[in-house]
Amino acid sequence: MAPELRPRLILALLLVVALALPPLLGALGQGFYVGFAARVLIMALAALSLDLVMGLGGMVSFGHAAFLGVGAYVVGIGSWHVFDGSPLPFGLPGSENALIVWPLAMVFSGLTALGIGAISLRTSGVHFIMITLAFAQMLFYLAGGLKTYGGDDGITLYNRSELLGLKLSDPQTFYYLCLGILVVALAALLRLRASRFGMVLRGVRDNERRMRALGFPTYRYKLAAFVLSGMVCGLAGALLANASEFASPALMSWQKSGELLVMVVLGGMGSLVGPVLGAVALMALEEGLADLTQHWQVILGPLLLVLALSARRGLWGLLRGRRDHD
């Protein structure tokens, strides 16, 4: 089998499974899991965004959950004002229109990423990790302090976003929408990786000094990647607020950031497809094991440990077989 064919076949197979999943689950009488599957896809999108900066850019962000939270809160706050009837600052009304709040979620998370990135990217290594964590924690506590919007108890969304007449409260519709968004994002980012921007980014990851010597404004490239990643993660947050019909500071906790990190590493950092698999594997394992025993963590923990020690470049590396770097 030609080396290029195998990963494409696997991807195609996964897509087919994903498309067939809702009717399959319906036939098994497990309609509830369509909602769960949509959540998995959303987390996969978030993990994908993290891989953009981690795998491609070499920037380990321990605060990506902040963007998830910002996106979710934009949707949540818009919805809250619709429910409450009161206007937002500047007299703007609340909104549940997806075409307004979802792009807005991306804008806000992008701006947040710009702010955080501008400062954090002046550091590197473990200090970068800690500073991104610090900013995420600050946002976490800030959200907890927003008493109007529920504080620590979060915002309950009474309705999902309205998107062009689609009924997003219907699990199947919502699932296919999430799948569509994920596929588009994955395709776009794969394209980006192969583009000039992607190559420069990977070059910066491998040897920043050399890239600077070659004349590239490395800080700007890193910041651009960080902002783009934040925006995609913000979209995931907006979708997550719809999926849970809830937005709370817990979305921004460092444990959530850690979960995203684990998904990326588990799936195979840098491959973009890997983190998607990592998200699916982690969440499916958690759910599946939880049904078997309430002590599932005692099994999953060592499993992660073994996976980390096996040095096989994540699940994607396992599936593809051993390959050369990138």
Partner 1 sequence: MITQLVAEQGLNGLQLGVTLFLMAAGLTLVFGIMDVIHLSHGSFYMVGAYLTATFGARFDSYLVGLALAIPAAALIGMAVEWIAIRKLYQRDHLDQVLATFGLIMFFNEGVRMIWGAQPIFLSPPQMLSGTVELLPGLAYPQFRLAILVTGLAVAAGLALLIQRTRLGMRLRAGASDRAMAGALGVDIDKLFTIVFGLGAGLAALAGGMAGTVLSVQVGMGESILILAFVVVVIGGIGSVKGALVGALLVGLVDTLARTVLPVALRGAFGNAVADGIGASLASSSVYVLMVLVLAWRPKGLYGA
Partner 2 sequence: MSRITASSLVIAGFLAAAAPSFAASGEVKVGMLTTLSGPGSSLGIDVRDAFNLAVKNLGGSLGGLKATVIEIDDQQKPDVAKDAATRLIEKEKVDFATGIIFSNLMLAVQPGFDRAQTYYISANASPSQLAGKQCSPYFFSAAYQNDNQHEAMGHYVQAKGFKKVYLMAPNYPAGKDGLNGFKRFYDGAVAGEVYTTVNQLDYAAELATLKAAAPDAVYVFYPGGMGVNFVKQWEQAGLKGKIPLFGPGFTFSEDTLAAMGDAALGTLNTAQWSPDLDNPQNKKFVADFVAAYGRLPSVYASQAYDAALLMDSAIRKVGGKLDDKAALGKALMAADFKSVRGAFKFNKNHFPIQDFFLREVVKDAQGRYMNKKVAPIFSERGDAYVGECSM
With a CB cutoff of 8 Å and minimum separation 6, the contacts of 243 are 35, 38, 39, 42, 174, 178
User: Is residue 113 part of the contact set for partner 1 (CB under 8 A)?
Assistant: no
Strands (E) in 58-215, as ranges, are 155-156
Residue list 156-215, contact with partner 2 (CB under 8 A): 156, 158
Neighbours of 100 (CB within 10 A): 14
Q: Residues 190, 262, 285, 318: which binds partner 1 (CB under 8 A)?
A: 262
Contact track, partner 1, 52-91, x by CB under 8 A: --x-----x-------------------------------
26/144 with CB nearer partner 1: 144
Closest to 40 measured CA to CA, from 318, 240, 189: 240
Q: Which does 60 bind (CB under 5 to 8 A by kind): partner 1, partner 2, none?
A: partner 1
Neighbouring-strand partners of residue 162: 97
Residue type, 128: F
304 binds partner 2 (CB under 8 A): no
**Contact (CB, 8 A) for 245 and 156:** yes
What is the dihedral sign for C-alpha 111, 113, 116, 120?
Answer: negative
269 contacts which partner out of partner 1, partner 2, none, CB within 5 to 8 A by kind?
Answer: partner 1
Provide the token pair at 133. 């964590």
* Interface pick for partner 1 out of 158, 302, 323, 326 (rule CB under 8 A): 302
Which residue lies nearer to partner 1 by CB, 250 or 304? 304
**Which listed option, partner 2, partner 1, none, makes contact with residue 291 (CB within 5 to 8 Å by class)?**
partner 2
Distance CA 104, CA 204 (A): 30
Question: Is there binding between residue 284 and partner 1 (CB under 8 A)?
Answer: no
Tell me which amino acid residue 222 is: K
Is 296 a binder of partner 1 (CB under 8 A)? yes
Beta-carbon count within 10 A of 181 CB: 18
State the minimum distance, in angstroms, from the CB of residue 26 to partner 1: 33
Question: Residue 29 touches which of partner 1, partner 2, none (CB < 5 to 8 A by kind)?
Answer: partner 2
- Whole-number Cα distances in Å, 26 to 32, 188, 301: 9, 31, 32
Residues that bind partner 2 (CB under 8 A): 28-33, 35, 151-154, 156, 158, 244-246, 248, 250-251, 277, 280-281, 284-285, 287-292, 306-307, 310, 312, 315, 318-319, 321
